[in-house]
Structure 1
Amino acid sequence: MTIRAIVWGENIHEKSNAIVGDLYPEGMHGAIAEGLNAAAGIEATTATLQEHEHGLSEARLAEADVLLWWGHAAHGDVADEIVERVCRHVWSGMGLIVLHSGHFAKPFKRLMGSPCNLTWREAGERERLWVTSPNHPIAAGLPPHFELEQEEMYGEPFGIPEPLETVFISWFQGGEVFRSGVTYKRGAGSVFYFRPGHETYPTYYDANVRRVLENAVRWAHDRAPRVTGVNDAPNVPVNQALEPIEARGPRLHADGEAGFK
């Protein structure tokens, strides 16, 4: 079975910053999709903020197994209608992988129900990611730790709910640590937040980062059919043909002992 993934990106830094444009001529979303398409059994397409409905129509999300989200400069420009649509599909069973500064994206904050705030510093520091759950599917095939020579620092406290699992913890040259890979369950959907991915560094070409994203897509994919009516709260009346429990009196069992049946 082919896993269908959508890689969503703002596609702003790539157009406005020459460094980013040179690093990612097809956009960060394009580089991420390229890495996923090199993996067996994954078919990744892209969508951007500038497209109609941000490239996330109802029909397209209904066909997607996993959505990857990178945002930074234009969180506020994402239409609330699309945010609710994404959340509904996650609740129904679509996987969601939120990347780097997507911690402040509207869909992630909506699903977390918390500020998702943190401390940060842009100084091109080394990041060492420690695998804290070596048996987790997202960590499959990774060494005990791996390094990115230059990355933006994110530091604790990280204003997220207590994760279901913490798969990675980062250490930075300045001494900070950060929960860099955390999982959640929201409705029927699996959610993974992964920290690395600052736009001015070639993070999404790194082999270990690509392995994490491939593993995360496979982990977030739910083979079960989508749950329907996730926003419904139907009234289910008592079936009048059933005898209310209160009306039942004691009856004799076959062994002669009294009891309710």
Structure 2
Amino acid sequence: MNRRTYLYAISFAIFAGRFVHGAEPSSIRVLVWDEQQREQRQAYGDQFLGEAIASHLASLPGIVVKTATLTSPDHGLSDATLDATDVVVWWFVERVVSRVQQGRLALVTLHSAHWSKPFVRLMQERAKSDALQQIPEAERATARIEYLNDQPYGKVPKADAPLAPALTRTATGWSLVLPGCIFPAYRPDGALGHLTTLLVDHPIAKDLPKQWDIPQTEMYNEPFHVPTPDAVVFEERWDKGEHFRSGCVWKVGKGTVFYFRPGHETYPVFKQREPLRVIENAARWLGGEVRKNAP
């Protein structure tokens, strides 16, 4: 898989930085970052996908929005920008990962950004934390753990492949196969996706119906090789029998990661009320969580 594939979806994050000039102190500050592929015009007309999301969020009370692209100075993600705005994407991996773990940043990852470097790194850090809890307490302080599959990009598992993460005792200690954040099958045919809101009382599910459809989307099929989520807010199914955990939440260190699966650059998923509401809810909830950790 080449670098462009990693960038097919938008990721965004919310962190406690200085307020944007003119923003209300209570506003959630969001930066939407997008590669702006030409193919997006098929679904979004005179806008790119990121612009469509940004326009929607900007119309809502209590949210301040900025946008950035690859062609922006420093890709729109300079230190000054990170210190002065509310949302950052995965381009500077170490900065994103460390801020999430410190509780200064919350990451929202959309669709094929499951293979973005910040998401993969954060899932691998969560897997390491989970693995340590599986080791007998008396052995944890001195346990020797060998980490495998730390660079999973381009490796697509077969349907019957062992699930990762996976911890195994060895002759010299322990072996942990890190998650690849990938799945065995996808189908970009624009099939109808049926979503079920599993956790109707979760903040990300606010004002969303129990059952709702997305008329055109790309199919992903389980198993999804990620750590067990702390919450699965949405499940998605297709008429040919596939299914996917399409809205997952993890705590990583002191921070939070949310993955929302629906999308594809040529389908107008983010013109629809329900997916846009998911993003709004995630921004508001995660922004509030980050504010609680702010000094």
Question: Does TM-score exceed 0.5, indicating one fold?
Answer: yes
Distance 1:53 1:91 in 2: 24
**Is residue 43 of structure 2 the alignment partner of residue 23 of structure 1?**
yes
**Is residue 95 of structure 2 the alignment partner of residue 85 of structure 1?**
yes
Q: How does 1:39-188 map to 2 (within 5 A)?
A: 39-67=60-88, 78=91, 82-92=92-102, 93-113=104-124, 114-118=179-183, 119-188=185-254
Aligned in 2, Cα 1:67/1:145: closer, same or farther, shift over 3 Å?
farther
Distance 1:159 1:53 in 2: 32
**Is residue 99 of structure 2 the alignment partner of residue 33 of structure 1?**
no
Distance 2:261 2:293 in 1: 30
User: Secondary structure of the equivalent of 2:291?
Assistant: coil
Cα deviation digits, residues 8-40 of structure 1 (max 9, x gap): 1122x23xx3xx224333311111111111221
User: Secondary structure of the equivalent of 1:123?
Assistant: strand
Where does residue 194 of structure 1 map in the other structure?
Answer: 260
User: Number of matched residues?
Assistant: 211
Amino acid at match of 2:211: H
Cα deviation digits, residues 118-165 of structure 1 (max 9, x gap): 121111100011001010000010110110111100110101111111
TM-superposed CA distance for 1:224, in Å, is 2.8
Distance 2:236 2:220 in 1: 9
- Across the aligned residues of Structure 1 and Structure 2, the Cα RMSD in angstroms comes to 1.7
**Which portions of structure 1, spanning 4 or more consecutive aligned residues, are displaced by more than 6 angstroms?**
none
**Is residue 272 of structure 2 the alignment partner of residue 206 of structure 1?**
yes
Distance 1:225 1:142 in 2: 28
User: Secondary structure of the equivalent of 1:224?
Assistant: helix
Distance 1:129 1:101 in 2: 18
Q: For structure 1, which segment, 192-201 or 41-50, has the greater mean C-alpha deviation from structure 2 after superposition?
A: 41-50
Paired residues of 1:126 and 1:172 also in contact (CA < 8 A) = yes
Aligned in 2, Cα 1:67/1:194: closer, same or farther, shift over 3 Å?
farther
Aligned in 2, Cα 1:65/1:184: closer, same or farther, shift over 3 Å?
farther
Paired residues of 1:150 and 1:201 also in contact (CA < 8 A) = yes
TM-superposed CA distance for 1:226, in Å, is 4.0
Amino acid at match of 2:43: L
TM-superposed CA distance for 1:62, in Å, is 2.8
Q: For structure 1, which segment, 170-179 or 218-227, has the greater mean C-alpha deviation from structure 2 after superposition?
A: 218-227
Where does residue 231 of structure 1 map in the other structure?
Answer: none
Amino acid at match of 2:191: E
Distance 2:255 2:59 in 1: 25
Paired residues of 2:229 and 2:248 also in contact (CA < 8 A) = yes
Cα deviation digits, residues 30-83 of structure 1 (max 9, x gap): 1111111122101111112233332112222233444467xxxxxxxx5xxx11
Amino acid at match of 2:189: A
Paired residues of 1:61 and 1:89 also in contact (CA < 8 A) = no
User: Secondary structure of the equivalent of 1:201?
Assistant: coil
Paired residues of 1:116 and 1:159 also in contact (CA < 8 A) = yes
TM-superposed CA distance for 1:188, in Å, is 2.6
Amino acid at match of 1:83: V
Q: Structure 2 residue aligned with 1:8, among 33, 37, 45?
A: 33
Q: Which runs of 5+ in 2 are unaligned?
A: 1-25, 125-178
Greater radius of gyration (CA) = 1
Cα deviation digits, residues 211-247 of structure 1 (max 9, x gap): 11100101111213547xxxxxxxxxxxxxxxxxxxx
User: Secondary structure of the equivalent of 1:135?
Assistant: coil
Q: Which runs of 5+ in 1 are unaligned?
A: 70-77, 228-261
Distance 2:89 2:241 in 1: 29
Q: Which has the higher contact order (CA 8 A, sep 6+)?
A: 2
Paired residues of 2:181 and 2:226 also in contact (CA < 8 A) = yes
Distance 2:97 2:74 in 1: 15
Aligned in 2, Cα 1:59/1:90: closer, same or farther, shift over 3 Å?
farther
